């Protein structure tokens, strides 16, 4: 379908019939003309590029933030979070790790796909990329017929106590999906974990 619009001189915008109909319905539902709606979309696209990203990136970021809000996530200063986590670990280690583990189980239900190795890997990688902003390097892959290898490098400011807390978080998430840790390396700002899939889900 072609839509004639005026931007100083006559232009034609070509789009599929389905998209044009959807846009027309959207414009009508908002009390706008199709012309004004297309101009609005065009301005939003230009604005996103002026800020160094495209409109798809902007939509993805909005979806991530909306999902984070619904999941009760909050933004907190990185140094404050590391400091608070380390103090909690030292002061009441057992209770702190239990809370981290239980929260991780809930988080797995919200964000992860309990399916094939490939589906698990894809959903874990997306979760890390979307929300673990202090993770500078992610390696995750299938190992053999029943294993998943995960290697994470975080920022150098991360303490060992906070890293150990993250260990419990990943243990909880993967336990929900029926995996257990069979090997691990935990260092300040560094995790290397090998998970093995059990025959049945071990969540209680």
pLDDT in tens, the chain (204 residues): 444 544 455 667 788 888 888 988 998 998 988 888 888 888 888 888 888 888 888 888 888 888 878 777 788 899 999 999 999 999 999 999 999 999 999 989 888 988 888 999 999 999 999 999 999 999 999 998 889 999 999 999 999 999 999 999 999 999 999 999 999 999 999 999 999 998 644 444
Q: Do residue 117 and residue 192 come from a single domain?
A: yes
Q: Do residue 97 and residue 32 come from a single domain?
A: no
Q: Do residue 115 and residue 40 come from a single domain?
A: no
Q: Do residue 47 and residue 9 come from a single domain?
A: yes
Looking at the structure of the chain, the number of domains it has is 2
pTM: 0.75
In Å, what is the CA distance from 32 to each residue of 20, 39, 40, 64, 132? 14, 11, 10, 28, 40
Pairing status of strand 179-187 against strand 135-143: unpaired
Structure tokens that stand for 1 in this block? 């379908």
Host domain of residue 142: 78-197
The answer to whether residue 112 sits within a structural domain is: yes
Report d(CA 62, CA 44) in Å as an integer.
14
Residue with tokens 């807390």: 165
Closest CA to 170 of 140, 198, 145, 137: 140
Give the CATH number of the domain where residue 174 resides: 3.30.1380.20
Q: Do residue 39 and residue 83 come from a single domain?
A: no
Residue with tokens 């297309």: 38
């Amino acid at each position: 379908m072609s839509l004639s619009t005026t931007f100083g001189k006559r232009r034609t915008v070509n789009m599929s019939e389905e998209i044009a109909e959807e846009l027309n319905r959207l414009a009508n539902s908002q009390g706008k003309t199709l012309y004004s709606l297309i101009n609005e979309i065009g301005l939003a696209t230009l604005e996103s590029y002026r800020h160094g990203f495209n409109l798809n990136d902007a939509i993805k970021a909005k979806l991530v933030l909306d999902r984070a809000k619904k999941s009760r996530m909050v933004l907190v200063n990185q140094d404050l979070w590391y400091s608070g986590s380390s103090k909690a670990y030292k002061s009441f280690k057992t209770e702190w790790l239990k809370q981290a583990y239980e929260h991780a189980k809930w988080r797995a239900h919200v964000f992860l796909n309990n399916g094939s190795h490939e589906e698990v890997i894809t959903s874990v990688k997306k979760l890390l990329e979307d929300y673990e902003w202090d993770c500078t390097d992610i390696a995750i892959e299938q190992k053999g017929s029943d294993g998943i290898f995960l290697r994470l490098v975080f920022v150098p400011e991360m303490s060992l106590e906070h890293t150990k807390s993250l260990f419990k978080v990943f243990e909880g998430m993967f336990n929900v999906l029926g995996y257990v840790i069979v090997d691990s390396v935990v260092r300040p700002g560094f995790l290397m974990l090998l998970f093995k899939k059990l025959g049945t889900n071990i969540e209680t």
